[in-house]
């Protein structure tokens, strides 16, 4: 017999298993109470296929199982409509379902519904099935936490979403810039408490309702803007975005072309985390306008591509490096590396690229950055980059006592011999703490 825990206590315990779907599935078999709590957690984000549990070879079977349960959960009117159109999809049972599974959902992705239906059915009647399932989700979910909807010109599925009643409690929105303006205007009337907005700029035009939706929020904290395929600028929404310049603490900007405005970022004086990611050799000259900006609360800065001139980043770090705790930079530049050692004394985690003659700079970083816990170093052609043995010796002899994690990225062909490793671990053994993770 299962232990009779209070329901509130059992709820709290099983919540800790949210990321462990295998264990949650085993809870389904204990009793009805355990089953209901586990089902509620499992169906909270049932459409998410990113976890390792769903990304195994049985992925299609799992998607098929999800779809059949959704079909069984459809209202009788929708089932009759599918049968009338000669669409027959097997369901897990002919009897009534134990639960109204859809009402447990807190995360809704229109694109993932489309993907599941297309992957499982692969026929020309997917449009009807998809729309009936989406309508069911929208009608049954009373309180939605995250909503994802990217309009895709290349999809043959014609989606109609006039209203989302559960959106009044929405805290996270991921959408494309070309959604119907009527939908965005409607959303702006009911949804005022978004904390996170992620916008992908797609198509040829930006919906008029996007500015209204952004402006109508009370306390926006996280903003992500990305533009790739169509190279549409986010300049049109900047007036709405800067209304939240005092509340936004996390900003992520992604793109693949250089004519993008960045100067508006200087108004976000309470930024704690900022990511600038512009690939394909793009150099954004507009970052020059940010080099003298002050972000006194900035703790995380990531620039994973060589998209800004080093001299601009150096000046930026001189002004804002003091409080940085995490810095990610894919740039080989001696002056920039020295700037980290000099102006980033509180750094905890660092990813950096060194030239083969810059071992002294690595030593300087270890000496001056006394709180450094983790460093990730790019290795490659041994004529261009630091040699691994030099790095190991430097870690043992110069890193501070709280340093415990060394990550090696890039070329896996090692120039370190077993004897070198033995020497390293003997040296590390005499340190406190002795924990080291590679």
SS (H, E, C) 372-437: CCEEEEEECCCCCECCHHHHHHHHHHHCCCCCCEEEEEECCCCCCCHHHHHHHHHHHHCCCCCCCE
How many angstroms separate the CA atoms of 125 and 84, rounded?
12
Are 212 and 185 contacting, i.e. CB atoms less than 8 angstroms apart? yes
What average pLDDT score do residues 94-116 get? 85
Minimum mean pLDDT range among 160-169, 214-223, 249-258, 303-312: 160-169
What average pLDDT score do residues 70-81 get? 89
Q: Kindly report the number of other CB atoms within 10 A of residue 110's CB atom.
A: 23
Q: What is the mean pLDDT of the chain?
A: 85
Does pLDDT of 4 surpass 80?
Answer: no
pTM for the predicted model, two decimal places: 0.87
One-character DSSP codes across 96-145:
--SS-GGGG--EEEHHHHHHHHHHHH-STTHHHHHHHHHHHHHHH-SS-S
Are 162 and 185 contacting, i.e. CB atoms less than 8 angstroms apart? no
Q: What is the pLDDT of residues 168-192, one digit of tens each?
A: 889 999 999 988 888 899 899 989 9
Q: What is the pLDDT of residues 310-319, one digit of tens each?
A: 899 999 999 9
Q: Which residues have a Cβ under 8 Å from the Cβ of 215 and sit 6 or more positions away? A: 188, 240, 243
Q: What is the pLDDT, as a whole number, of residue 51?
A: 46
Does pLDDT of 396 surpass 60?
Answer: yes
What average pLDDT score do residues 15-32 get? 82
């Amino acid at each position: 017999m299962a232990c009779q825990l209070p329901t509130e206590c059992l709820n709290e315990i099983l919540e800790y298993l949210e990321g462990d779907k295998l264990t949650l599935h085993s809870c389904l078999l204990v009793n009805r109470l355990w089953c209901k709590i586990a089902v509620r957690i499992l169906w909270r984000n049932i459409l998410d296929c990113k976890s390792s549990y769903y990304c195994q070879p049985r992925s299609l079977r799992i998607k098929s199982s999800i779809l059949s349960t959704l079909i069984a959960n459809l209202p009788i009117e929708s089932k009759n409509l599918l049968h009338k159109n000669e669409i027959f999809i097997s369901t897990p049972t002919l009897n009534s379902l134990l639960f109204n599974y859809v009402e447990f959902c807190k995360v809704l992705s229109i694109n993932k519904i489309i993907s599941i239906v297309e992957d499982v059915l692969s026929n020309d009647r997917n449009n009807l099935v998809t729309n009936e399932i989406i309508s069911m989700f929208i009608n049954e979910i009373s309180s939605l936490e995250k909503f994802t909807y990217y309009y895709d010109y290349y999809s043959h599925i014609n989606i109609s979403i006039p209203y989302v009643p559960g959106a009044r409690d929405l805290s996270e929105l991921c959408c494309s810039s070309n959604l119907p303006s009527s939908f965005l205007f409607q959303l702006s009337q009911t949804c005022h408490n978004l904390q996170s907005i992620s916008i992908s700029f797609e198509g040829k035009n930006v919906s008029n309702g996007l500015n209204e939706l952004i402006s109508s929020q009370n306390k926006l904290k996280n903003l992500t803007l990305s533009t790739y395929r169509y190279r549409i600028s986010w300049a049109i929404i900047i007036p709405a975005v800067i209304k939240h310049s005092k509340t936004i603490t996390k900003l992520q900007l992604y793109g693949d072309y250089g004519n993008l405005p960045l100067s508006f970022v200087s108004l976000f004086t309470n930024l704690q985390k900022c990511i600038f990611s512009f690939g394909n050799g793009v150099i954004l000259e507009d970052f020059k306008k940010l080099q003298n900006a002050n972000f006194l609360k900035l703790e995380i800065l990531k620039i994973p591509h060589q998209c800004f001139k080093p001299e601009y980043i150096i000046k930026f770090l001189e002004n804002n490096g003091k409080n940085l705790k995490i810095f990610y930079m894919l740039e080989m530049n001696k002056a920039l590396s020295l700037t980290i050692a000099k102006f980033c004394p509180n750094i905890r985690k660092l990813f950096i690229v060194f030239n083969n003659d810059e071992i002294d700079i690595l030593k300087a970083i270890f000496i001056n950055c006394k709180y450094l816990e983790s460093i990730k170093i790019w290795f490659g052609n041994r004529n261009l980059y630091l040699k691994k043995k030099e790095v190991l010796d430097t870690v043992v002899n110069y890193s501070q006592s709280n340093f415990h994690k060394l990550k090696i990225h890039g070329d896996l062909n090692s120039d370190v011999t077993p004897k070198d490793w033995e020497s390293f671990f003997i040296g590390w053994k005499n340190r406190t703490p002795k924990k080291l993770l590679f």
